[in-house]
Structure 1
Amino acid sequence: MDEETANKNEVFLTLFTANEAAIRAFVRRLVPTQQDTADVMQGIALVLWRKFHELDDHAGFRKWAFRVARYESLGWLRDKCRDRHVLSEDVIHLLAEESTRREAWLAAQREALDECLEKLPKQQRQLVLAAYSPEVEIQQVAQQSGRTVGAFYQWLHRTRLQLIECTRRTLQTEGPL
């Protein structure tokens, strides 16, 4: 592999990994399940990789990736249209437009939440993150915290309220997008 190809590969990987969470969140708003999202994301990654050479302005990667994600999601949904639980194409277009329009705000919310999570004491942060880990059994996390399941849910509720308030304050401080 020559140096130019290696550099292009590195640029692609840097841009893709920096934007993957936002692309995944976008797709998740369009398809029914997390497994569907994973399936669609594989196709999106392949299309982005194969067509990366067509992108002239790397600063526009996110916008371009969202456009690809939108079309890949619509194609996936069209293939699944026999399932009566799939939304009509018009509704999907509306959702995609709204998701694209709100992405900057959602990204700011994610960043503010990350900042607020970092402000929590280490043990508290670890318990919150453990409670929201995929396939977690809340009983195990409650036991790890030294609380009953009911007491843990109450503690988690209070912690979520703290995080919501911290996120709100952080967003107000940073100003409108």
Structure 2
Amino acid sequence: MPNSESADFIELMSSFQGRLYGLILSLVADPDAANDILQDTNLILWTKAHEFQLGTSFKSWSFRIASFQVMAWRQKKMRDPLIFSNEIIQEMMAEQNKRPDNYEERKDKMETCLAKLPERQRDLIKKRYGLGSSIVHIAEELQSTANSIRQVLFRARTNLTQCVKSLPESDS
């Protein structure tokens, strides 16, 4: 595959990671398994890159490969069932119940910090992660380059991380 085609393929592959993960997660309902399957899918996509024709539907091609990987994972799970004893399940549940449930607090912190972002960063975060738009699509829509969009998103994520870490923990 020539360099320009490699770069285009890498761009396509990168822009579809969120959608591929979402598809896989919706089919297996296990984030860890979804991550493993996504890695396997990416490896196959890369090794079969020469079979992909630029200009055709990357979504259809990559989703088909991902669905085959999900089917393979399901077959493996059926052959290799993991069964825990009742004691282990009770211990796991007790351990889970000890963990604080701070989802609402984390969500509130994120909303507070999102509101503090500069408008451009906030808009790009909403387009990329709220609407699931690809970086390429956002760049085209805003008549910008994918690289400049990536840089703004990087700064936005950095700002969000610093902001969330700086907010005090609640006493609940």
The TM-score, its normalising length taken from structure 1, stands at 0.48
